[in-house]
Amino acid sequence: MKNLAFILMAFCLFCGISVHAQLKDETKWTFEAKKISGDKYQLIVHCKLPKSWHIYALEPGGDGSMIAPVITFKPTKNVKYIGKVTEKGKRISMAMEGVPGKVNYFENSVDYVQEAEIKGGATVNGTYSYQICTDQMCLPPTDDKPFTIKVK
């Protein structure tokens, strides 16, 4: 009987590891600088999500347990950041079972935009952290992935 219990436990552990190993974050991130006028630019971080997955909003709401994305632009010579990072996309706000208040998130895609004044050319560096979820589960958070945007 002990051997059967051990075999059953080993099988369950193997299945759990196998299923977890098959889950891959297929979120696509791209980066661009868009000239608005004169020295004013929008530094844009595009996030394209896999089907059935979502990413929480910068202000996710709910009970505070949702992990919001963090987009950080590092100080750079010739670059003055204006305001905070904003998000653009079709934001969904809804109640979730077991969570007080409304939860805010994006499906399909979202853009994170940082306004900047850039004199001459510059290379803008930064990092992004995030977590994606389905209505059943979340992948582990991804922390401080680097990016670069070249502005001519």
Residues 35-56 have pLDDT tens digits of: 999 999 999 999 999 999 999 9
Task: Please tell me the class of the 26-151 domain.
Answer: mainly beta
Q: What beta strand segments (E) does the chain contain?
A: 28-37, 40-48, 54-61, 70-73, 79-88, 91-96, 99-107, 109-118, 122-130, 132-133, 142-151
As a whole number of angstroms, the distance between CA 87 and CA 110 comes to 7
Residue 139, number of CB atoms within 10 A of its CB: 16
Angstrom distances, CA of residue 24 to CA of 2, 28, 63: 35, 12, 27
Band of pLDDT at residue 22, cut at 50, 70 and 90: low
- pLDDT digits 0-9 by tens, 55-93: 999 999 999 899 999 999 999 999 999 999 999 999 999
| CB distance 121 to 99 below 8 Å | no
What would the two tokens of residue 45 be?
Answer: 């971080």
Of the listed ranges 3-7, 21-25, 106-110, the least confidently predicted one is 3-7
> According to the model, what pLDDT value does residue 152 have?
86
Tell me the domain boundaries of the chain. Answer: 26-151
